[in-house]
Amino acid sequence: MKRIILMIALLFICATPCAAAEKTIIAVADSWPPFSDSSEPAGGLSLEIIRAAYKTQGYQVTMEFVPWARAIERLKTGTRYDILPNTWMTEERKTFLMFSDHWAVNEIKFIKARGDHFEFTGIESLAGKTIGTIRGYGYGNEFMASTLFERKEGNKLIGNIKKLAHKRIDLVIEDEIVARAAIIKEDPNLMKRLQFTKNALSSNKLYVTSGLANPRHKELINAFNKGLAVIKANGNYARIMANYGMK
């Protein structure tokens, strides 16, 4: 009888950590502030969103920061990592990744001085403007090839924002979420002097993905989708986004 009780106790001890391990998710990303940011205690916007969503489904998420090429390759082969928090959808990626419901949209917009009536309606609407860009960034062939306007290259977004605030350039081009987070971090009062165009130059939906080679990929993506719906319904999603300047 004692032997049976001992065996049952050992099985219980073994089962507990195994169950806990099944509820652990290892996320991987490169540094892409404010979405994934190793310098921030919370890890960035993406990590806050996915942790909140997965928590509602009983999962814990840990994050590792590695170069993008390594992250995508590990998910492709199903080794070590479970999810990528920030992924744009392409036909090629759909051959080896399962995509969640999108949780954000990257919209490349123009930032202007508050009160400026300019609205982007196509490349032709930029005629005569001086636009602040970031050296080395890509904005699409049509934008980069146009001779209708002047591109003023800078090294950092905030430098361009300050030029705009001092009327040295007409517009700044940047992803809206990235820009809002950077401006709030630098000087929240700057936002009172700026606004974004309603229309975007381009947009890409942002997804959580898991490699098809991962035996848990359906479980993990379905859990995120359910959790995302929960945090959107209870207001937690909006609260997190607001902390990064998004209303």
pTM (two decimals): 0.80
d(CA 144, CA 195): 23
pLDDT of residue 7 exceeding 70, the answer is: no
- Report yes or no: 114 and 193 within 8 Å, Cβ to Cβ: yes
Domain boundaries, the chain: 24-104+204-243, 107-203
d(CA 24, CA 162): 43
Give the three-state DSSP class for 184: helix
d(CA 211, CA 218): 9
pLDDT of residue 143 exceeding 80, the answer is: yes
Rounded alpha-carbon distances, angstroms, from residue 209 to 72, 88, 117, 186: 10, 9, 39, 31
For 65, residues 6+ apart whose C-beta sits below 8 A from its C-beta are: 28, 29, 30, 31, 36, 38
pLDDT of residue 245 exceeding 50, the answer is: yes
d(CA 28, CA 66): 7
CATH number of 24-104+204-243: 3.40.190.10
Which tens digit of pLDDT belongs to each residue from 197-219? 999 999 999 999 999 999 999 99
Going 30 to 65 to 44 to 33, the CA torsion angle's sign is negative
Same fold, 24-104+204-243 and 107-203: yes
From the CA atom positions of the chain, what is the Rg in Å?
22
d(CA 31, CA 96): 22
pLDDT of residue 119 exceeding 60, the answer is: yes
CATH architecture of 107-203: 3-Layer(aba) Sandwich (3.40)
In order, the DSSP letters of 74-90 are HHHHT-S--BEEEE---
d(CA 230, CA 159): 39
pLDDT of residue 137: 82
Per residue in 162-188, is it b (16+ CB within 10 Å) or e — as a string?
Answer: bbbeeeebbbbbbbbbbbbbbbbeeee
> Could you give the percent of the chain with pLDDT greater than 90?
75
pLDDT of residue 174 exceeding 90, the answer is: yes
Mean pLDDT confidence for 226-238 = 98
pLDDT of residue 131: 98
